[in-house]
Structure 1
Amino acid sequence: MATSTIELTKDDFIETVQGDGIRLVDFWAAWCGPCRAFSPVYERVAEKNPDVVFAKVDTEAEPELSSALEISSIPTLMVFRDGVLVFSQPGALPQPALEDLLSQVRALDMAEVRAKVEQQQPR
């Protein structure tokens, strides 16, 4: 079966998440039961949304990246839009919740999001 997701490493993570559009990143490990349960949900939503980049980071294979991003619980889902982190939360989501999250991210006013990010930057 062809996969709709891409594997990320520390070498291509930044380049991938800073791209235009919506980028979802699932942090997982093979030994993690909730990760294995979430994987088919993630794949199904990826197949329905070919305009979105769905990526996975194996925390066992990429400990430096996981540590740098302070991933302490898996699965953890991060969502970037136009290079801005707009969502980060540990825990597997049921398919309707993941689809709802995606529609919320699509509906974001990125000018507003960027303005809020600017306000939070130290002066």
Structure 2
Amino acid sequence: MATINVTEAQFPQTIEENDIVFVDFWADWCGPCKQFAPVYDAVSSEHADVVFAKVDTEAEQRLAAAAGISSIPTLMAFREKVLVFSQAGALNATQFSELVQAVKGLDMKEVHAQVAAQQAQQAGQE
């Protein structure tokens, strides 16, 4: 699947309606972002079952702030509406391909159980 540009208005729906979503937070003036862009596009073309979104942090400053973006590029991965990966910095093609496979291979029953346990613990502390 080709990459899609996502706005603040589209972001929640993109995460809600898709099983796996990778999000590249970038800016046009960012050298590492420009180096990572062709890697992101190439890997996206190899995985038709995954959504690859891009967020221009200059155009979508509120979304970038809400996502806690402090350095770019930042790559996030969501699986079944859960943030399962977030890291600043560009990856090479091998690293990114391995990350996509790792996210696809996650045991989501275990991930959801961990999220529920964390939420219960936080609720107990309040």
Structure 1 gaps of 5+ residues are: none
Which residue is 2:106 aligned to?
Answer: 108
Equivalenced residue count is 121
**What's the TM-score, normalizing by structure 1?**
0.95
In structure 2, the residue corresponding to 1:16 is in which secondary structure? helix
Structure 2 gaps of 5+ residues are: none
Task: Please state how far the C-alpha of 1:18 moved relative to its aligned partner.
Answer: 2.0
* Distance across 2 between alignment mates of 1:46 and 1:85: 19
* Distance across 2 between alignment mates of 1:9 and 1:20: 16
Contact 1:41 1:94 in 2 (8 A): yes
Matches within 5 A, 1:36-115: 36-115=34-113
* Distance across 2 between alignment mates of 1:79 and 1:73: 16
Larger Rg: 2
* Distance across 2 between alignment mates of 1:18 and 1:35: 26
Matched letter for residue 24 of structure 1: F
Deviations 1:15-58 (A, max 9, x none): 10122311000000000000000000000000011110000000
- The percentage of counterpart residues that share the same residue type is 54
Contact 1:18 1:84 in 2 (8 A): no
Contact 2:18 2:51 in 1 (8 A): no
- C-alpha RMSD of the superposition: 1.0
Task: Please state how far the C-alpha of 1:88 moved relative to its aligned partner.
Answer: 0.4
* Distance across 2 between alignment mates of 1:68 and 1:85: 14
Which residue is 1:119 aligned to?
Answer: 117
